[in-house]
Structure 1
Amino acid sequence: MDTRENERMERLEERINDKGTEKDDLKEEVKPLRGREGQTVTLHTGLAKLQSDAKILWIFGPDSPDIFIVESQVFRGEIITEYKGRFQGRLQLDRETGSLTVRNITINDAGLYQLQVISELVTYHNFIFTVYASVPTPNIRNTPHNPSVDSRLVSGSCSVVCSVANGKEVTLSWYRGEEKLNNTSSPHQADLSLPLEIKGTNSDTYSCVATNPVSNQTTKLSIEEHCLQHADSSDCARCITLTELVVRSVLSALVAVATIALLVHHFWHRRNP
């Protein structure tokens, strides 16, 4: 969880547990809930059945519940349910249990939700709702080439790096089959990067996985694309270098022979005019 989210959650917990708070209703148990942007999420109360004439209120706020979003009551034998504010068109109340369904959730829907059930007594149910964006797909690329890397490629090994755009509670990991090799996460970086060096030729399957609490994306490493291809290129580069050396040697030899021939011809004409 990133630092700002931790701080916000801590403030909410302090508000809930603080015996001196003016909002005594916040002392009830708080249920954590997570969701992904675009999903439909239901805040389940866990109640079997409410009293049929109970008044139901749902209240929301990013840091404390202070915005009424649902008001449902029985008036002259008729159930009247009103959805308010920016949630209109995305909410559905279950009057039997008090549960609330939110459709097409957004990052701005994160915060504290409170249900108030008013009958002979008033009961409260609180939810801390955290919303995450879908984690991006990680990208695998070869590390920048240098002579030492080229020599490792020729010896049957290669180095790659996996990267992904960072987000709330994103973790980046390398796997060999089902075995996790290493991982990294940081709330302070715009992008996460994780290197991997594969030693020797093998048939293992390597994959880079980006995850957050509600989603994951996997990119498989192509040995042919990222390793063998570069090894062939390195070998070819060495072959070209060797060919150039041979050509230069032959040309030098020809120049030397031609020079000697000219000198011999010159001296022979001087002695035999």
Structure 2
Amino acid sequence: MFHVILLCWCSWNLMVVFGLESVSVTEGESVTLYMNITEQQRKEGILWKFGPNKSRIAEIKRDNNAINLNKYFTDGRFNNRLKLDQTGSLTITNITFTHSGLYQINTDKQYELLKIFNTTVYTRLPVPFISRDSSQCSSSSNCSVLCSVMNVSHVGLSWFKGKSLLSSISVSDLNIRLSLPLEVEYQDNNTYRCVINNPITNLTQHLNINHVCHKCSGSNICKCGFTEAVIRLVVSGLVGMAVVAVMVFDVRSRGDEQKRRSDTQLYDR
């Protein structure tokens, strides 16, 4: 228990003394981890390390101030993506999810920890797509719509009516499709919008009721989706069979009653 407490205290102490800076960026963009090292620190040499194994990815040599990039990282994720200047600032270009994690910078000679950056890379948000919900049958006055996005993670999806939030869902792991339904009236003049967001950005798609919820020609409402139509057809068939069975039973019952009466009259005679 003492070791755990000591470890936690040490970790917290490092964050306080050297600073832990959180950095958020969208995939495909560039991010710079800003430093402004002193002349003495530059003379001692600077090391940039990444990940739980603290693999060396960039350095300023202490003997001649030469800059080396990606010398010791072997999986290729940093190839042609790193820039390091004499201030110690490190730039990562065309960043991807594999570049999320902890970056630390320290001096080479004294191994003085200068700073830690916790970098999180978020997916590039797709524009939400609004369509009619073909799995639902709309009434003569209401229309069911869906707001959908594909291949997203760590995002939220929300419906707004004006500035008021109507509903929302979120997903953490990669989701093939994320959809959020909404039912509106055909004659509704309110402004509806679907918003996708993550901690650093958002995108909005507005609902055009006249475009998405247009009524089908020759009828007041559009046809149901295939599954819904099959269910309705089966139900209608079962109801029809039940009606026929009742009619047949009624006809037979009346016939039996008439025959019984005839037999009774003949017996009385």
> TM-score band (shorter)?
0.5 to 0.7
CA distance in structure 1 between the partners assigned to 2:125 and 2:6 by the alignment: 31
1:85-110 per-residue CA deviation (whole Å, 9 max, x = no partner) reads: 332422122322x2211111111111
User: Alignment partner of 2:212: what SS?
Assistant: helix
Matches within 5 A, 1:218-229: 218-229=204-215
Residue number in structure 2 paired with 1:179: 164
Tell me which residue corresponds to 1:92. 83
**How far apart are the structure 2 equivalents of 1:16 and 1:222?**
59
Give 1:207 shift. Answer: 1.7
1:92-143 deviation per Cα after TM superposition (whole angstroms, max 9, x unaligned): 22322x2211111111111111100346672331111111221222222222
| Partner in structure 2 of residue 9 of structure 1 | none
Please give the alpha-carbon distance, in whole angstroms, between the structure 2 residues aligned to 1:211 and 1:167: 11
Q: Is the 8 A contact 1:65 1:112 kept in 2?
A: no
Alpha carbon RMSD of aligned pairs, Å?
A: 3.3
Q: Which runs of 5+ in 2 are unaligned?
A: 223-269
Separation in 2 of the partners of 1:193 and 1:16?
Answer: 47
- The 1-side partners of 2:112 and 2:104 are apart by 12
Hey, what's the Cα distance between the residues in 2 that align with 1:221 and 1:160? 9
Corresponding position of 2:94: 104
Equivalences for residues 160-239 of structure 1 within 5 A? 160-187=145-172, 190-199=176-185, 201-230=187-216, 234-235=219-220
Cα 1:26/1:66, change in 2 over 3 Å = farther
Q: Distance in 2 between matches of 1:134 and 1:67?
A: 27
Distance in 2 between the 1:80 and 1:25 partners?
A: 29
Counterpart of 1:53? 43
- CA shift, 1:17, in A, is 5.5
SS in 2 for 1:116: strand
Gaps of 5+ in 1: 1-13, 238-273
Q: Distance in 2 between matches of 1:15 and 1:126?
A: 21
CA contact (8 A) 1:73 1:79 kept: yes
SS of the residue corresponding to residue 53 of structure 1 reads helix
Is the Cα–Cα contact under 8 Å of residues 33 and 91 in structure 2 kept in the other structure? yes
Report the more deviating stretch, 36-45 or 25-34: 25-34
- Give the CA deviation at 1:233: 5.3
| Pairing 1:82–2:68 present | yes
**Residue matched to 1:144:** 134
1:55-70 residue pairs with structure 2 within 5 A?
Answer: 55-61=45-51, 64-70=52-58
Dislocated runs of 4+, deviation >6 Å: 24-27
Pick closer, same or farther for the CA change 1:94–1:233 going to 2, 3 Å: farther
Cα gap change, 1:236/1:184 in structure 2, threshold over 3 Å: closer, same or farther? closer
Amino acid at match of 2:67: T
Provide the rounded CA distance (Å) in 1 between the counterparts of 2:219 and 2:135.
10
1:123 maps onto 2:113 in alignment: yes
CA distance 1:50–1:208, change in 2 (3 Å): farther
Q: Name the aligned partner's letter for residue 66 of structure 1.
A: K
What amino acid is the match of 1:111? G
1:161 shift after superposition: 1.6
2:30 to 40, 43, 48: 40
C-alpha contact 2:156 2:169 (8 A) present in aligned 1 = yes
Read off the aligned partner of 2:189 and give its amino acid letter.
Answer: S
Kept in 1, the 8 Å contact 2:62–2:108? The answer is no
Distance in 1, matches of 2:131 and 2:211, equals: 10
The answer to whether the 8 A contact 1:59-1:113 is kept is yes
